[in-house]
Amino acid sequence: MRTRLDSGNPLTEAEAPGAMNKTSTAASLAESSGAGGGERYMDPFAGLFTAASTIPLQPLIDRPHVHRLFESISWGQAENLYGYQQPLTGMSGPWVERGGRRFLMLSAYDYLGLIGHPAISAGAVAAIGQHGTGTGGVRLLSGTAAIHLELERALAEHLGTESALTFNSGYAANLAALGTLLEPGDVALLDAYAHRSLYDGCRLAGAKIQPFAHNDIVDLERHLASFSPAHRCLVAVDGVYSMDGDVCPLPALIEITRRYKAFLLVDEAHALGTAGARGGGTADHYGIDAGEIDLITGSLSKAIPAGGGFVAGRRATLAYLQHVSGAYVYSAGLPPPCAGAALAAIRVMKQEPERLVRLKYNADRLKNGLLSLGFDIGQTSTPILPVITGSNESAYRLARHLFDAGVIALPVIPPAVPRGTARLRLCVTAAHADDDLDMALSAFASLAPSGRC
Ligand code: PMP
């Protein structure tokens, strides 16, 4: 069957009830700029949504939500507002090239500015020289290389845990940890804003999922009191929240999970390398021994500019994962160049602590600039800066305006964030120069809700 594409504007959502005034102001200002003009975004679908007024829907995907999604994409493309999946022709970094034009990048989570660092690229090349490009096996059988063990020791040492185990992505690490350690009958209490992979890991385990209000210890306690001790309970949170940039209340989480004999998992994907005096993550940020946390998971694709993920914790827990978790036993080991780059990056993080200092300076500078322009940037205290516009359409139009001004800052809409809180999720990095941030701020200033410019 074919779906019609001529419906109105499915990307626009009603403003959330009680949305802040400045959010609404930002939205209406952005909306008043008219349809996305300027250079056309590249079409990642090779005309699928633009060639005709209808597109084919095979029976496999002939479902109402697919119709709605495709209508949204078609509308976004018609309005020149669909700016996702724009292919970069070189390395990511503070400046990128796309379609022969340079753009200031404000949406990449290369927090320490390490993509392309010569020692890290050399680490990847050396690992290829020693081990080749692939492992030729799953870790449990023939796919363990010496460099995996070296990386895992370095990771555990950096995080302050007994041990660490690598996986092919941060997503896979969360599936491995939660999908293996939880069982039907267990209760997983997840922060409402926790990463999708934490929810998916609990679904894989068949555990009962009970979300609690974001960073709200009172709400968490209400749920813990209703489940524990009849059930085994695990609380899972992000250390630094990927869409909001705020930090979890780790001391209170440790205290409450102890008191209720529950377990605690902290996903450090955005905290590793960025939080704490030495970039050790959320425990480092609070000056707490990481051994107080039952499980730490994370990614090797953010401050560490490689690919892969990890689970860190007690040796016995990880020995169990090594024999039972599907992502470890049934999936090939982390490719050597990723392991080599990640290992080199951990060394660079130690040798170049000034990067973390610069990251914090840049985050403050951009944050203060956006605040003084009147933008709503939520509760962030990290290099992740959400510019909350409210409606999806206003986020798309603001992103388009910035793109025309030479800045890439991508919109994030529900369900990745709560309804009515669409935003541009900005990531500042240590590699941004003062001039870069000034350029970004002047692009934002022309649509500032305070109307100052
Ligand atoms: N956890 C969090 C909090 C994340 O933000 C992400 C990725 N954005 C992941 C896990 C998954 O990491 P990876 O990209 O390495 O799969």
Query: Which atom from ligand 1 is nearest to the alpha carbon of 109?
Result: 8
Instruction: Using the mean position of ligand 1's atoms as its centre, give its distance from the Cα of residue 281 in Å.
Output: 15
Better-predicted residue by pLDDT, 182 or 453: 182
Instruction: Using the mean position of ligand 1's atoms as its centre, give its distance from the Cα of residue 8 in Å.
Output: 34
Q: Give dist(CA 254, CA 260) in Å, integer.
A: 10
pLDDT at residue 58, rounded to an integer: 86
Question: Of 9-18, 44-53, 272-281, which gets the smallest average pLDDT?
Answer: 9-18
Instruction: Using the mean position of ligand 1's atoms as its centre, give its distance from the Cα of residue 370 in Å.
Output: 26
* Choice from 111, 299, 427 to test ligand 1 binding pocket (greatest atom count within 8 A of CB): 299
Please, what are the domains in the chain? 95-115+353-445 (3.90.1150.10), 118-351 (3.40.640.10)
Instruction: Using the mean position of ligand 1's atoms as its centre, give its distance from the Cα of residue 290 in Å.
Output: 20
211-244 pLDDT, tens digit per residue, is 999 999 999 999 999 998 999 999 999 999 999 9
- Examine the pLDDT at 452 and tell me if it is beyond 50: no
- The pTM score is 0.92
pLDDT at residue 55, rounded to an integer: 73
pLDDT at residue 16, rounded to an integer: 29
pLDDT at residue 290, rounded to an integer: 98
97-122 pLDDT, tens digit per residue, is 999 999 999 999 999 999 999 999 99
- Examine the pLDDT at 26 and tell me if it is beyond 50: no
Q: Which residues line ligand 1 (CB under 6 A)?
A: 169-171, 174, 195, 197, 238, 242, 267, 269-270, 299, 301, 309
Query: Which atom from ligand 1 is nearest to the alpha carbon of 309?
Result: 15
Question: Of 36-45, 46-55, 133-142, 248-257, which gets the smallest average pLDDT?
Answer: 46-55
The residue nearest atom 5 of ligand 1, judged by CA position, is 242
Instruction: Using the mean position of ligand 1's atoms as its centre, give its distance from the Cα of residue 239 in Å.
Output: 12
| Three-state secondary structure readout of the chain | CEEECCCCCCCCCCCCCCCCHHHHHHHHHHHCCCCCCCCCCCCCCCCCCCCCCEEECCHHHCCHHHHHHHHHHHHHHHCCCCCCCCCCCCCCCCEEEECCEEEEECCCCCCCCCCCCHHHHHHHHHHHHHHCCCCCCECCCCCCCHHHHHHHHHHHHHHCCCEEEEECCHHHHHHHHHHHHCCCCCEEEEECCCCHHHHHHHHHHCCEEEEECCCCHHHHHHHHHHHCCCCCEEEEEECECCCCCCECCHHHHHHHHHHCCCEEEEECCCCCCCCCCCCCCHHHHHCCCHHHCCEEEEECCCCCCCCCEEEEECHHHHHHHHHHCHHHHCCECCCHHHHHHHHHHHHHHHHCCHHHHHHHHHHHHHHHHHHHCCCCCCCCCCCEEEEEEECHHHHHHHHHHHHHCCEECCEECCCCCCCCCEEEEEECCCCCCHHHHHHHHHHHHCCCCCCCC
Query: Which atom from ligand 1 is nearest to the alpha carbon of 174?
Result: 10
The residue nearest atom 15 of ligand 1, judged by CA position, is 170
Question: Of 11-25, 140-154, 303-317, 361-375, which gets the smallest average pLDDT?
Answer: 11-25
* Choice from 178, 191, 197, 214 to test ligand 1 binding pocket (greatest atom count within 8 A of CB): 197
- Examine the pLDDT at 399 and tell me if it is beyond 50: yes
Mean pLDDT of the chain: 91
Local confidence band at 300 (pLDDT 50, 70, 90 cut-offs):
very high
- Examine the pLDDT at 14 and tell me if it is beyond 60: no
- Examine the pLDDT at 5 and tell me if it is beyond 70: no
Instruction: Using the mean position of ligand 1's atoms as its centre, give its distance from the Cα of residue 170 in Å.
Output: 5
pLDDT at residue 450, rounded to an integer: 57
- Examine the pLDDT at 191 and tell me if it is beyond 90: yes
* Choice from 110, 168, 301, 382 to test ligand 1 binding pocket (greatest atom count within 8 A of CB): 301
Better-predicted residue by pLDDT, 50 or 274: 274
pLDDT at residue 9, rounded to an integer: 36
In degrees rounded to 5, what are phi and psi of residue 197?
A: -65, -25
Instruction: Using the mean position of ligand 1's atoms as its centre, give its distance from the Cα of residue 171 in Å.
Output: 6
Query: Which atom from ligand 1 is nearest to the alpha carbon of 301?
Result: 15
The residue nearest atom 12 of ligand 1, judged by CA position, is 170
Query: Which atom from ligand 1 is nearest to the alpha carbon of 299?
Result: 15
Instruction: Using the mean position of ligand 1's atoms as its centre, give its distance from the Cα of residue 297 in Å.
Output: 10
* Choice from 111, 171, 331 to test ligand 1 binding pocket (greatest atom count within 8 A of CB): 171
310-333 pLDDT, tens digit per residue, is 999 999 999 999 999 999 999 999
pLDDT at residue 366, rounded to an integer: 98
Average pLDDT for 117-130? 98
The residue nearest atom 13 of ligand 1, judged by CA position, is 170
Local confidence band at 94 (pLDDT 50, 70, 90 cut-offs):
very high
Local confidence band at 153 (pLDDT 50, 70, 90 cut-offs):
very high
Local confidence band at 57 (pLDDT 50, 70, 90 cut-offs):
confident
Instruction: Using the mean position of ligand 1's atoms as its centre, give its distance from the Cα of residue 298 in Å.
Output: 7
Instruction: Using the mean position of ligand 1's atoms as its centre, give its distance from the Cα of residue 52 in Å.
Output: 36
Local confidence band at 8 (pLDDT 50, 70, 90 cut-offs):
very low
